[in-house]
């Protein structure tokens, strides 16, 4: 198979994985590249253990595991966040960032699922990428991961109902690496996070981006299931990392 055909097959396979895993429910594929902000720049330990304008419960101001950082306004939410390259760990085969004070701040001793992120733009970003990595891992129970990462919104049960149909074998035939991020919106109650990644298989690779709508609930960031299924998660193929701040392990 030539490189062009491998890339085409890979693009289809990534979208199949995304749809099948329920990363995006009511998947909106093929919308094309969104116009990003110009410029790409360099970017940057868990423990075991009511405003009517905003939909859904907004409980504790701080995280449930005691992380103290809180940012409630939307001033300058879109700049680079300065992650240190050494602050990374692996969830199965996907490298994800971990920073003391941002999260994850808690690992469930029974399920080994990580959660608890700071109420900051960085915390929302970390919650999004950790949730994605954990649901791709065959070492973690898919249903349990979803129950932890989904908010208590009206579409929660619809997403959980597809759990028995999930097959992660195709995902595990690919390599995924985080490549970039954008914080599109943030106010401390909600966050809209855009994460770029690279999928590789059989010598070919493509870039794709996932957009997450997050909500602060019960002292942690969750995927907002109060919005329509089409809005909860959106995946699209992208042609470059232009407009994204760097997010990835050095040397990938």
Determine which of 32-41, 121-130, 231-240 has the lowest per-residue pLDDT on average: 32-41
**Which residue has better confidence, 82 or 45?**
82
Q: Hey, CA dihedral for 229, 232, 238, 243, is it positive or negative?
A: positive
Judge residue 78's burial from the number of C-beta atoms within 10 Å of its C-beta, 0-12 exposed, 13-18 middle, 19 or more buried: middle
Q: What is the mean pLDDT of residues 236-242?
A: 90
Q: Hey, CA dihedral for 63, 68, 73, 78, is it positive or negative?
A: negative
**Which tokens in the block code for residue 64?**
């449930």
> pTM of the full predicted structure?
0.77
Banded pLDDT at 53 (limits 50, 70, 90):
very low
* pLDDT tens digits for range 77-122: 556 666 665 688 899 888 898 988 999 999 999 999 999 999 999 9
Banded pLDDT at 60 (limits 50, 70, 90):
low
CA pair distance 29, 145, nearest whole angstrom: 24
Domain ranges of the chain: 3-246
* Percent of the chain whose predicted confidence (pLDDT) is above 70: 64
Task: Go through 162-173 and write b for each residue having 16 or more CB atoms within 10 A of its CB, e for each that does not.
Answer: eeeeeebeebee
CA pair distance 217, 59, nearest whole angstrom: 6
């Amino acid at each position: 198979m030539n490189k062009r055909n491998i890339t085409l097959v890979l693009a289809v396979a990534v979208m199949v994985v995304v749809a099948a895993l329920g990363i995006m429910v009511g998947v909106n594929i093929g919308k094309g590249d969104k116009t990003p902000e110009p410029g790409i720049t360099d970017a940057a330990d868990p423990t075991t253990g009511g405003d009517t304008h905003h939909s859904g419960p907004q409980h504790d101001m701080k995280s449930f595991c005691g992380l103290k950082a809180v940012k409630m306004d939307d001033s300058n939410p879109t700049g680079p966040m300065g992650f240190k390259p050494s602050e990374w760990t692996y969830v199965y085969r996907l490298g994800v960032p971990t920073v003391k004070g941002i999260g994850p701040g808690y690992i469930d001793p029974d399920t080994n699922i990580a959660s608890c992120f700071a109420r900051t733009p960085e915390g929302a970003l970390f919650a999004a990428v950790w949730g994605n990595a954990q649901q791709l891992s065959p070492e973690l129970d898919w249903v349990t991961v979803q129950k932890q990462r989904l908010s208590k919104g009206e579409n929660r049960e619809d997403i959980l109902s597809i759990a028995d149909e999930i097959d992660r074998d195709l995902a595990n035939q690919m390599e995924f690496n985080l490549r970039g991020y954008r914080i599109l919106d943030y106010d401390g109650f909600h966050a809209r996070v855009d994460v770029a990644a690279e999928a590789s298989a059989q010598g070919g690779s493509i870039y794709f981006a996932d957009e997450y709508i997050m909500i602060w609930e019960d002292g942690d960031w969750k995927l907002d299931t109060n919005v329509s299924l089409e809005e909860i998660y959106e995946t699209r193929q992208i042609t470059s990392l232009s407009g994204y701040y760097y997010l990835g392990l050095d040397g990938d």
